[in-house]
Amino acid sequence: MDYFYIITNEEKDKDLEITNRIQAYIESHGKTCVISKRDGKSRLRCDLIPKEVECALVLGGDGTLIRAARELAEFDIPLLGINLGTLGYLTEVEIEEHESALQRLFANDFHVEERMMLRGKVHGQMEDTALNDVVVTRDGCLRTIRFHVYVNEVLLHKYSADGIIVSTPTGSTGYNLSAGGPIVQPTASIILLTPICPHDLNASSIVLSPSDRIMIQIIGDEERQVPAVVTFDGVELTPLKPGEGVTIRKSSQVTKIIKLSKESFMHTMRNKMKGSEGQ
């Protein structure tokens, strides 16, 4: 690789000291490196991304990498996460290892994993993409919301719950896991449905085919108007009124994650969790 693009979480590298150091290291080896720019609303200036870019180095935590994946969804640019955060499932490289990681990239000594994404359309209008999950949940109120879940236009279940998580395999270790959902190999191609605190004996997660089309519709009446919202990867909050809903399917776009380690996902997960015996 010869052409790099850096996306930095400036809250974690406020003076861009680490960013500038990485750029200098890349350029000292005869490579090209461009630092990303954002507009007045903190959105990535994708129009300024050079066409020659071969890799995006994402400096921050998993949240920074997930945001970068969404912002670069229309581009065919693989991402390498350099961890400035804490846990870091997606940000594989620790900051003290960045020079050896870059040497691997210079030598093309890596492989690329493709991660599926979700595409959602909110009440037939606004559309967005998610790498981790699309979540429908109550908006601040402590009462449960009522909603129906349809799969391929067939009613799957009627829920009264705090909400529901529609997750990719990559997102299985996020909110889905906290809500009691299963952990899935991140390169798999399935869709997970996990209810959030359901008032129901049937509280299990459901695993669907990547070709399935999911529709979540909010149910309410004049006496029970509980506000609901839908979020994509925890952002882009959009309110949902009774009768409105969101349709979710597998996206045609994928996120490409650069992998340097040959450790299995299960080994990485065990090390990150730090919760099993024998650690």
The whole-number average pLDDT for the span 52-61 is 96
Where would I find the beta strands (DSSP E) of the chain? 3-8, 32-35, 55-60, 79-83, 93-94, 111-122, 126-130, 133-138, 145-151, 154-161, 163-167, 191-196, 206-208, 214-219, 228-232, 235-240, 245-259
Q: Specify whether 132 is located in the same domain as 225.
A: yes
Q: Specify whether 134 is located in the same domain as 189.
A: yes
Domain of 23: which CATH number?
3.40.50.10330
Domain of 146: which CATH number?
2.60.200.30
Instruction: Tell whether 279 is covered by a domain.
Output: no
Instruction: Tell whether 174 is covered by a domain.
Output: yes
User: How do residues 165-214 score in pLDDT, each as one tens digit?
Assistant: 999 999 999 999 999 999 999 999 999 999 999 988 777 999 999 999 99
- The better pLDDT of the pair 125, 251 is held by 251
Q: Specify whether 264 is located in the same domain as 233.
A: no
For residue 34, what are the domain limits?
Answer: 3-110+260-273
pTM greater than 0.85? yes
Catalytic annotation present for 200: no
CB contact set of 48 (below 8 Å; sequence gap of 6+): 36, 37
Q: Specify whether 88 is located in the same domain as 185.
A: no
User: How do residues 240-249 score in pLDDT, each as one tens digit?
Assistant: 988 999 999 9
- Structural domains counted in the chain: 2
Catalytic: which of 2, 13, 47, 62? 62
Instruction: Tell whether 278 is covered by a domain.
Output: no
